[in-house]
Structures are given as structure tokens and as C-alpha cells.
Amino acid sequence: MTASDSHAPDEAAGLPSALPRPEGERERLEAVWRSPRGWRVITEVNNTVIGYFYIATAFLFFLLAGILGLLIRLQLAVPGNDFLSPQTYNQIFTMHGTVMMFLFAVPAVEAVGILLLPQMLGARDLPFPRLGAFAFWAYFVGGLVFFCTLFFGTAPDGGWFMYPPLTGERFSPGIGADWWLLGIGFIEISAIAGAIEIIVGVLRTRAPGMTLTKMPIFAWTLLIFAGMIVFAFPAVILATILLELERAFGWPFFIAEKGGDPLLWQHLFWFFGHPEVYIIFLPAAGMVSMIVPTMARVPLVGYRLIVVALIAVGFFSFGLWVHHMFTTGIPARSLGFFSAASMAVAIPSGIQVFAWIATIAAGRLRITVPSLFVIGFLIIFTLGGLTGVMVAMVPFDRQAHDSYFVVAHLHYVLFGGMVFPLFAAIYYWAPAFSRRPLSERLGRWSFGLIFLGFNIAFLPMHVTGLIGMPRRVYTYPAGMGWETLNLVSTLGAFMLAAGILVFLVDVISNIRLTTAEPAGNVWDAGSLEWLPNHAFGTRSIPRIDSREPLWDRPSLVREVEAGAHYLPRTATGGRETIVTSPVEAEPQYVMRLTGPGYAHFAAAVFTAGFFLLLTVKAVVLAGLCGIGAIVAIMRWMWECDQAPVGEIDIGGGVRLPSYASGSMSHSWWAMVVLMLVAAALYLSYLFGYLYLWTVAPQVWPGREQLSALPALLVPMVLLIVSGLLLEASRRLLDGGGGRRGIIAVLLLLGAIALVGALGVDILQHWRAGLRPQTSGYAAMVYANAALQAQIAGAVLLSAGFAAARLATGRVDRIRRVVFDNLALLWAYSLGQAAFGLALTHGFPRLVAT
Amino acid sequence: MKVLRALVLGTGLLMLTACQRQSALAPAGEEAARVALLSWILFAGAAVIFAVVLVALGFAIAGPERIRRWLRAEAAIRLWGIAFPAVTLAVLLGYGLWLMRETVANPRQPEMRVEVTGEQFWWRVTYDGPAGKPVAEANEIRIPVGVEVEFVLRSADVIHSFWVPSLGGKLDMIPGRTNRMWLKAERPGIYRGQCAEYCGTAHAQMALEIVAMPQPEFDAWLAAADSPPAPAGEAVERGAALFLASGCGACHAVRGTPAAGAIGPDLSRMGGRRFLAAATVPNTTENLARFIVEPAALKPGSLMPPFAILSGEERQAIANYLASLK
């Protein structure tokens, strides 16, 4: 469709950009967003292409982990089976859970987010395209290597929950547990990178006028999803750091004889692990909230109630991790509290279920394949929710816990709550990205087989568990009454697999991905992602004044495609998108996006190499990879923060700056979120520190062993000096930034002072004879140093980077995002370091006897 | 409602006939009975709620306009999505807390105490003996019927979980901690239990049996603990000598003999147990002999080294000796 044939002039009047658009404008836009051809496609950063890679990879892991599930079912089909050895079985069930949770569920949701969000929000791309691509490649390389350990018999075998002491050095001397700790720890970092991208994307790149209350529910769920990742993942990252330190260097965080505690791991793990369930479920619920209104052809009923419910779930889910620990012998009072919280979280889910039912009742549900998967989801998820209430009852849970009842429950919740919506989503959104939609006929077969197979496989397990079969057993004796149920489960599992196979056939025969001519809005949906969809999103970016803009303004499709709305061109000759205010979505500036490049790709490969080589104890090679990763990241960042080019006319008389700094900048927002991640990590540490004291106060130092107070003096002075140097450089920059060389030197000195403060502190502990291997207390003191060093190291590198930018004239009073971000991280690091000093020196003094 | 309840109970009963020994739905103790009742209440309630959701969904898709108009109102969401679950859950929570008072909240003076320590991959059992002396046992726990027994649960290595479904819920055994639970068997019988926390290679084969017997029988059995039978007959005597000569006593103890090892299970009354290798295989002399030569063949992951150097005749002799210890 071209501009000239679509509009009568009077219809176009009042739209921001005059029609017809100048010759060659669209071609220039296309050229800027064109993907590199051939193998160079790996350098692409555009969300559509990365989204395809991401979804395909996540689905690959779904299939691989699914095959592991089938192997489990084969082994358990009959009692006393010797199809798999216990060693192999234990690796397989560990990998099944780990891969499904970490390599499929979370990445799949992020993948759908990365693919859909910009389109849904009316942006050209996400705000940090290279970060998204980096997160993907890190996940791709790390995930594949991690999975392949299974073929060498060196996969982890401690369960996806990795409870020490079983996973400690003494009981798991091989490298399997290290694969888990380093591999998964690293993939969590990739998930956090994706979460930062999603938060800033949702809050800052919505189409003008798309206020928070007009935002599609899916975007709401992704916002909450990403926010939960920010607070939940650091807990498990800390846990993996501590366990790896214990395994590698003998720091006894989880060893009871030395004042550690195995339960510390469980608290940290489930503080992540429970929210994780909702992290997976919420976006899936968001998908359902998009599909149901389209299929019923009415706006969602209870939009505000659903938003409140989603926020409530996000909030509650952090308060019920102990319900995974009901059988550990914790006091009755805590049991009561967490039991109540676990039940309360059912209410927001009830709201959503009845809001979907209300929406269906308000319209006329078309029975399409997406609708079928949604109905399947409603049925299965409701059952999973009901059994969830059962296991929230402490007395019941003491029977059901770690039995097949819980296996049934968790699959009803996760497979029902996430996989069914995901299939619905794939069938629903395929036409937005593929030349052909998926087949309704194959889709119905696929749904039928999956739905029946799933229930045949997992419904009997409720009974299997209650009549005594524990989880994670590689075999069971005959005569326990479990044979028939297990055989039925196995048959169901294969039926389910057949349904997935039919789906694959459908995908292979019908999906033809394109960034140019997708099948389009075959469902007659109302949200923005159904506008004609290209690599650059929409041709022009409309102002939004309703939740279903395509229903309320049918002409929007033609107008947008003709270029009648905002920014129908490339204004700077590069990729760009409009940044809007976080709540009201008023345009603020035009963000310039980075294009394809090798640096982020190299950074991802090197980062993966660093962690993976560390696992196999190839320290030198790992070190080289680490340096390579840092160099590559610096190279990648060097091209960001481009110089301002003056004001840009986006149409309709709106002129926007091409640069922003301070709290208006998208980059500032990302930095703040990153600091929240760091703070969550440190808070988890603080919890661990205090927790170990409550468990084993006897290994805390007595009065006579405490360090003298002057020990604090040197580090404190150095921290203050560091802060003063930062402040001085800020004033110099504010004052015109003429003396850039001096600022650069001040920054370097200040960062060195920060690192020095931490170095002096830990040196003093060492000189005083404290060794991390001796007790849980000592290990915690050194763990504090390790965490501080992480951030301080980042400050030092960033200071070096900023100094180089200053020296080459790339930072000044206006173009100062690099400096601002450094200052934020620096200030945070100073605060955390000071707090760490106060904690490690003050707390033992406070409690010493 | 009535039909549904009958249906649920019917299926339940059907299942019960198949599985008596390790089932939460076939309670033989107070605690298990309370939870079994709770389970049936929960199932029935869940069935009703599930039916409500299904009917609502069905009506929303294809029901008469009158009902659909009612379902689409936000008031319906507030009623069924907020008010109804809030009330139901509050009631359930109250019931659950009341039940917990019985189970966990109430430490009490036990009439009898058994210490159980989880080890990879078996259970170390210690009774308070008649003379106040501890009596060591393994993998088979005898208790008197009708007496509330305190189980003192510990771990020697990794986390295990003590679970005998017919008597009550499970409780973890965690290194560095001591957990206590109270179980009472209402009638004589043999109740099987199994480790419920994944503990490594042979987690699947870490089972145990609780043998509930009348008090007098139990007392007699415990009283006999101090006087193991002397080896009788030539074959058994040869086995006893071989047992010591082969170094079995380094890990295993047999009361009244120089064998005093504390690493593996106490074998003083080995012959009286129903099963070998933590309730994994029946206790026959053939299985005993096989276990001695290649423990991992019967129980993969068993930490006992193989004794392949013993001849077939020697193994048999040791097995005969062990079988005689009752």
C-alpha cells in the first residue's frame, strides 16, 4: 500500500504528518532497519529478529527437556525398571526441572516479550537492542553447553533445587554441581539483563498517549514479571555464589558443624523459587488477557481489577516462600503465617479467572485454536490452583510434600498455567509474524492430544502421591499399588508428546517468518501489534486514546502505514524511537538506537566462555575470556551515547530533543533498576548474615576477638576521599567541563580509593587471623568483601571508560549520560561499602558476649 | 453434591483396597486419620468449586443470555473471584491452624522415644533400652500399639525426610538440627515408610518399616536386646568367625561380640528383620549372600564395599550367621 492511493486529503487532515509523504522516505527507513544478510544476521539487534531466535531457542529447550520427561516416564512405567541407571536418572530429572525452569519458561516469556512489546507499545524497538541481543546470545551459548553436559554424564544430579549438603563438595565431588551453579547463575544474569530492558521499554517507549491505564494487560504483566525478576533472581544468584564459594574454597556457609546451615540455602532458593512460579505464570495470564477479548470481540471486563490482582500477586508471592519448607521443622507460628499468605495468593488468581469468564460472557467466543488452548488453560490451571490451596494447608502438606501429589500439582500450575497459554499465544500471534497463519485443523488435533495426554499423565499422580510414592525416585518396588497409575501416566505422557509433534508439523508446514508481509490481523484484534508490522515496527507512530485503538479507529491501519502519524521517517539517518514519560506517555525525546554490531555478540560468547571454562577449572583460559568480555563490552558501549543532533520534528508540530540526561534519560532508568538488582543481592546477603548468626551464634567472635575500632578508620577515610573526588569531578563537569583531563584523573583516583578502602579492610581481617574456611561467620565476612568487590570493580572499569570518553571529547556538560550513570553506580557502591563496614564491624560488637 | 461425594469416596475406597502399607489415605494412626479426613474434605470442596468454574465457563460460552448478562458484570467477578474464595479460604485456614495445634504446635511428654538418624541410604535407630542403655537397631522400627511415640529425627550426612504415610506426615532430617514428631499406631500392623527428601543415588531405596505390636510383645522384644543368641551349630559358628575375620566388625556391630563398628547398620538382630538394605529386598540368606558380595547389585549407590574375595561357601556361612541373629 502506498500513500497516494489510501487517503482522501480531508481524512488525513489533522493527522501529525502531511500526506503524501515525500519520495524515498519509506525506503530510507527500510534501509536503516534492514537486517544484515547471511551469517551476518548474528550481528542483528532488532527485537523482531532477536525475538525469533529467542523463541526458537526457548522452544528447543522445551523439546529437549520434554524428551527428558519422557525418559523419566519410560523408566517409571513399570516397577523395578532398569532402563536407566540411578546415576543417569538423577541427572535426567535434575536437568528436566532445571532446563524447564531456567532455559525454557523464563526465557520463553522474555522472548515473547522482546518480540511483541515494541509492536504492542508502538515503539520501533526496545530501548537497549544490543543488551537484548547480548542476553539472547549469552543464554543460547550458555544454555546449549549446559545441556550438553548430559551427553558426557557430567550433568548436575542434585535436583533443580540443589539442596546442600548433598550438593556440597563432600557429597558431590564431581563438576556436575558446578555446571549448575555457574551455568545457571550466568543464565540468571542474562534474564536480569532482559528484565531491565523490558522495564525501561514498558515505562519509557510507549506510543504517545498510551497512559498506564491504556496499556495492554500483557505489557502490565511483563512489567510486573520483570520487576519480580529484579527482586527475586538476586536471592538465588547470591545462593549460587555462596555455594560455589563453599565448593571451590571451603567457605562453610551451609555446613552445620562449622556454623553454617543447610536451611540458609532453602530460604534463599525459595525466596527466588516461589516468585519464580508467578514470574512464569503472570505473563502467560497476560497473554490470555489479550487473546480472550479478541476471540470474544469485546474489551476485557475488569481491566482495573486485573491490574490490581497482578500487582497483588507480585507482592504476595514474595511472602510465601516458606511453604516449600513446611516439613523442615520450622516453628508453628511461622507455619501459620506462611500458610495464610499461601492461601491469600489464590484470590488474585480467582479475580483473573472470573474476569476472563466475564469477558467471554460479554461477547461471543469464537472457538478457534487459541480459544481452545485458553479453555484448556482455564480448566487445568483451576485444578492446579485448587490443589495449591490444599498444599497450603500445613497438615495436608506434611503428607503431600515431596510426593507425586506435588508433581501433579506443579505440572497443573506450570504446564496448565504457562504452556497452554504459550501455545494459545503462538497460534494467536503467528499471523502477525508469519506469511501464513497456523492450521486450525492441525491445531485442534494438537490441542486435543495435549489436553487429553496431559490429564491422563498428571491427574493420576495426585493419587500416586497420596498412596505413598515419593518424588525423585528412579524406581519403585512392585506391590505398592503404584503400578497401574504409573503406567497410565506414562501412556498419557506419550500422548502429550504426540500433540507436541503435531504442533511441530504445523509450525514446519505453515510458519514462514517475515519482517515485511505477515498474514496480518486475521482475528480482527484491537491492539497495536496488529498494525502492519515491519522490522521497524509501524511506519509511523500513532497517538493512542483507547485500549483497543484498532477497534475504535479502523482507519488507523491505513493512516499509520501511509506515514500520517508521528515520526514516519528516520530523522537522524539511524535507528530511533520516541521516548515518552512513564505514566502519561507524553513524548519527551527521540532516542537513537544502536544498530547491528559484533561487539555485543563477542561479549556474550566471551562471558559464556568465562563462566563455562571456570566450571572445568581452566582458570587461565577463563581469565582470558573474562578480559575479552570486558574489552568487547567497552567496545560495544563506545558506540552508544551518541552526540545530540539538535531538535527533531516528529510531526504535528511536536519538536523533540535528540538527547536527554538525568532522570529523563532512559539510560538513567536502566541504571536505577540495575542498582535495585544490586540492592536486592546485598539484602539477600544481609539476610544470610543475620540468619547464620541466629542459627549458630557460637561461631561469632567474643569480645576479646573483636578487631580494634581503629581498623575502621583507614577504609572509612578512603571511602570519604572517594566520595569527595566524585563530587569534585561532578562540579567540574557542571561548571562547563572545560578541564576534561583533570576530571578524568579525579575519576580514576576516586575509583582507586574506593577499591583501596575495600582492599585495606579485608587485608586487616586477614592480618587479624580471620580465615574464611574456619566458620560460617568468617565466610560471611569474606563474602561481604566479595560482593563489595563486584560493584567496586564495576565502578573502576566504568571510571576508566568514562575517563577515556572524557579524554576523547565524548563527555561534556550536555552529553553526560556516561558520567551520570557512573556517578549513580559509584554513589551506590559507596553506600553499600559503608554499610558493609558498619555491618561486619558493628554487628559482632553489638552481639558479642 | 451427594452424588459427587459418593463418587469421590467410591473411587477413594477402590484405591484403598489396592494399597494398604504406605498410604496417606489408609490411616492407621491418629495424625494420619486427621489428615485423611482433611484430605477428603478438601477433595470434595475442590470438586464443588471446580464444578462452579466449569459451569460458569460453559454458560459464558454458550449459556442463555440471562445468565451471561449476570456473569459479565464486575459484581460477578467480585463475588466469585474475591468474596467467595476469601470466605472459603478463611474457614480452611482456621481449620488448618486448629489441626496444626494437634500436630506441630504442641510439644509434649512422650511415653516413649525413638531416635532415628538418616544416613546415605539407611536409617539408624536407637531405643532407650530397659536399663537406660541405648539399643541400636536399623531400618525396622518396632513400636507398641496405642502409645504415642516421639521420634527424634537427625541426619548424619545430607537432608533426609522421615515419612510413614499411614501413621502421619513427614518431617525432614537436617544436619545440625533435631526435629521431633509424634506418631501413634492405632492397631497392630506393618507400616512402610520411605525417605521423602532426595538424598542421592539410592534415595529410591531408602525405605523403612514400622512394626506396631502389642505392648507386652514389644517390651519382651526390647528386653531381649541385651542378650543376642550365641552362634549355634557349626555352620553358624564358622560364619561368626568369618564375619570377624573379614573385618565386617569395622563398620557393623553385633552386641556381645568384638564387632563394634558404628559406621554401618547395627546387625545384632539382623535375622529378625523382614527386609535387607533399608526395606529394599526380602531378608533371605540368598539375598544376604548376594548383598555381601556386591551390595550395589541389589541396591545401587549402597556405600558398603563389595566383598567379592569371599568364596560362595564363605558368603553363605556369614549369611547363615546373620540370619541366626534374632
The pLDDT score that the predictor gives to residue B229 is 67
Q: Which segments of chain B are extended strands (E)?
A: 112-119, 122-128, 134-138, 140-144, 149-155, 160-162, 171-173, 179-183, 189-194, 207-213, 275-276, 281-282
Q: What is the CATH number of the domain that holds A104?
A: 1.20.210.10
- Which chain A residues have a beta carbon less than 8 Å from that of B73? 358
Name the residue type at position A738: G
Nearest Cα of chain B lies from the Cα of A389 at a distance, in angstroms, of: 8
Q: pLDDT at residue A817 above 60? A: yes
Which grid cell is B323?
Answer: 540370619
Most A CBs within 10 A among B30, B77, B154, B180, hence the mutation to make, goes to B77
Which carries the bigger pLDDT value, residue A11 or residue A405? A405
Which grid cell is B108?
Answer: 509434649
Name the residue type at position B215: Q
Task: Answer yes or no: is B25 within a domain.
Answer: yes
Task: Answer yes or no: is B68 within a domain.
Answer: yes
Last residue of a domain, one of A465, A484, A510: A510
Q: What is the CATH number of the domain that holds B197?
A: 2.60.40.420
Q: pLDDT at residue A12 above 90? A: no
Contact present, A430 and A437 (Cβ < 8 Å):
yes
Task: Answer yes or no: is A663 within a domain.
Answer: no
Which grid cell is B193?
Answer: 515408610
Task: Answer yes or no: is B221 within a domain.
Answer: no
- What is the total count of domains within chain A? 2
Task: Answer yes or no: is A3 within a domain.
Answer: no
Burial label for B258, CB within 10 Å (0-12, 13-18, 19+), is: exposed
What average pLDDT score do residues A223-240 get? 96
Task: Answer yes or no: is B225 within a domain.
Answer: no
If pLDDT is split at 50, 70 and 90, which confidence band does A389 have? Answer: very high
Model confidence over A413-429: pLDDT tens digits?
A: 999 999 999 999 999 99
- Would you tell me which residues 447-466 of chain A have a C-beta closer than 8 angstroms to some C-beta of chain B? 463, 466
What average pLDDT score do residues A210-215 get? 96
Model confidence over A714-744: pLDDT tens digits?
A: 999 999 999 999 999 999 999 876 788 999 9
Element (DSSP H or E) covering residue A602: helix A599-615
Specify whether B94 is located in the same domain as B137: no
- How high does pLDDT run on average in chain A? 93
Specify whether B76 is located in the same domain as B162: no
Task: Answer yes or no: is B227 within a domain.
Answer: no
The three-state secondary structure class of A480 is: coil
Report how far residue A285's alpha carbon sits from residue A506's, in angstroms, rounded to the nearest whole number: 24
Among chain A residues, the shortest Cα distance to B164 is held by A468
Q: Which segments of B7-130 are extended strands (E)?
A: 112-119, 122-128
Nearest Cα of chain B lies from the Cα of A476 at a distance, in angstroms, of: 7
* Contact residues for A587 (Cβ-Cβ < 8 A; gap 6+): A208, A566, A578, A579, A580, A650, A654, A656
Report how far residue A468's alpha carbon sits from residue A405's, in angstroms, rounded to the nearest whole number: 9
Dump the DSSP string for A217-240: HHHHHHHHHHHHHHHHHHHHHHHH
If pLDDT is split at 50, 70 and 90, which confidence band does A3 have? Answer: very low
- Determine, for residues A396 and B165 on separate chains, whether the beta-carbon distance falls below 8 Å: no
Structural domain including B6 reads 2-103
Nearest Cα of chain B lies from the Cα of A356 at a distance, in angstroms, of: 9
Task: Answer yes or no: is B154 within a domain.
Answer: yes
Specify whether B95 is located in the same domain as B154: no
Which grid cell is A485?
Answer: 497409575
Which grid cell is A226?
Answer: 520483570
Closest CB from A390, A395, A473 relative to B203: A473
Last residue of a domain, one of A467, A487, A510: A510
Q: Does B60 lie at the interface with A, CB-CB under 8 angstroms? A: yes
Angle B126-B127-B130 from CA coordinates, rounded to 5° = 145
Model confidence over A669-689: pLDDT tens digits?
A: 999 999 999 999 999 999 999
Model confidence over A479-489: pLDDT tens digits?
A: 999 999 999 99
Contact present, A309 and A282 (Cβ < 8 Å):
no
Strand-pair category, B134-138 with B122-128: antiparallel
Q: How many other β-carbons are positioned within 10 Å of the β-carbon of residue A696?
A: 19
DSSP summary character for residue B21? S
Report how far residue A36's alpha carbon sits from residue A40's, in angstroms, rounded to the nearest whole number: 6
The pLDDT score that the predictor gives to residue B105 is 53
* Contact residues for A703 (Cβ-Cβ < 8 A; gap 6+): A848, A849
The pLDDT score that the predictor gives to residue B300 is 87
- Would you tell me which residues 240-259 of chain A have a C-beta closer than 8 angstroms to some C-beta of chain B? 255-257
Model confidence over A541-552: pLDDT tens digits?
A: 999 999 999 999
Among chain A residues, the shortest Cα distance to B8 is held by A463
Model confidence over A763-793: pLDDT tens digits?
A: 999 998 999 999 999 999 999 999 999 999 9
What is the dihedral sign for C-alpha B224, B228, B234, B235? positive
Angle A339-A340-A342 from CA coordinates, rounded to 5° = 65
Q: pLDDT at residue A2 above 60? A: no
Among chain A residues, the shortest Cα distance to B63 is held by A361
The pLDDT score that the predictor gives to residue A186 is 82
The three-state secondary structure class of A605 is: helix
Of residues A170, A145, A164, A168, the one with CA closest to residue A95? A145
- Determine, for residues A358 and B77 on separate chains, whether the beta-carbon distance falls below 8 Å: yes
Model confidence over A319-364: pLDDT tens digits?
A: 889 989 999 998 877 888 888 888 888 899 999 999 999 999 999 9
Specify whether B99 is located in the same domain as B119: no
Cα(first)–Cα(last) distance of chain A, in Å? 81
Task: Answer yes or no: is A189 within a domain.
Answer: yes
* Contact residues for B254 (Cβ-Cβ < 8 A; gap 6+): B228, B243, B266, B267, B268, B325
The pLDDT score that the predictor gives to residue A841 is 92
Q: pLDDT at residue A563 above 80? A: yes
What is the dihedral sign for C-alpha A374, A376, A377, A379? positive
Most B CBs within 10 A among A82, A162, A166, hence the mutation to make, goes to A166
Last residue of a domain, one of B58, B74, B103: B103
The pLDDT score that the predictor gives to residue B104 is 60
Last residue of a domain, one of A487, A510, A533: A510
Which grid cell is A118?
Answer: 515494541
Nearest Cα of chain B lies from the Cα of A97 at a distance, in angstroms, of: 14
Closest CB from A159, A351, A387 relative to B77: A351
The pLDDT score that the predictor gives to residue B320 is 92
- Determine, for residues B99 and A378 on separate chains, whether the beta-carbon distance falls below 8 Å: no
Specify whether B32 is located in the same domain as B15: yes
- Determine, for residues B169 and A361 on separate chains, whether the beta-carbon distance falls below 8 Å: no
Q: What is the CATH number of the domain that holds A814?
A: 1.20.120.80
Task: Answer yes or no: is A758 within a domain.
Answer: yes
Contact present, B303 and B120 (Cβ < 8 Å):
yes
- Which chain B residues have a beta carbon less than 8 Å from that of A171? 120, 157-158, 200
Contact present, A291 and A201 (Cβ < 8 Å):
no
- What is the total count of domains within chain B? 3
- Determine, for residues B25 and A389 on separate chains, whether the beta-carbon distance falls below 8 Å: no
- Determine, for residues B19 and A365 on separate chains, whether the beta-carbon distance falls below 8 Å: no
What ipTM was assigned to the predicted interfaces of this complex? 0.93
The pLDDT score that the predictor gives to residue B1 is 44
- Which chain B residues have a beta carbon less than 8 Å from that of A354? 56, 76-77, 80-81
Q: Does A90 lie at the interface with B, CB-CB under 8 angstroms? A: yes
Of residues A582, A516, A487, A560, the one with CA closest to residue A205? A582
The pLDDT score that the predictor gives to residue B228 is 65
The pLDDT score that the predictor gives to residue A737 is 60
User: At residue A578, what are phi and psi to the nearest 5 degrees?
Assistant: -90, 135
Task: Answer yes or no: is B295 within a domain.
Answer: yes
What average pLDDT score do residues A15-28 get? 92
Report how far residue A61's alpha carbon sits from residue B309's, in angstroms, rounded to the nearest whole number: 48
Structural domain including A736 reads 687-847
Predicted confidence pLDDT, tens digits, chain B (326 residues): 444 455 555 555 455 444 468 999 999 998 899 999 999 999 999 999 999 999 999 999 999 999 999 999 989 999 999 999 999 999 988 888 888 776 665 566 778 999 999 999 999 999 998 878 899 999 999 999 999 999 999 999 999 999 999 999 999 999 999 999 999 999 999 999 999 999 999 999 999 999 999 999 999 999 888 776 666 778 788 999 999 999 999 999 998 899 999 999 999 999 999 999 999 999 999 999 999 999 998 888 888 999 989 998 999 999 999 999 88
Report how far residue A246's alpha carbon sits from residue A259's, in angstroms, rounded to the nearest whole number: 13
CA dist B196 to A201, A253, A269, A390, B193, Å? 45, 24, 19, 19, 9
Dump the DSSP string for A804-826: HHHHTT---SSS-HHHHHHHHHH
Q: Does B74 lie at the interface with A, CB-CB under 8 angstroms? A: yes
Model confidence over A602-631: pLDDT tens digits?
A: 999 999 999 999 998 899 999 999 999 999
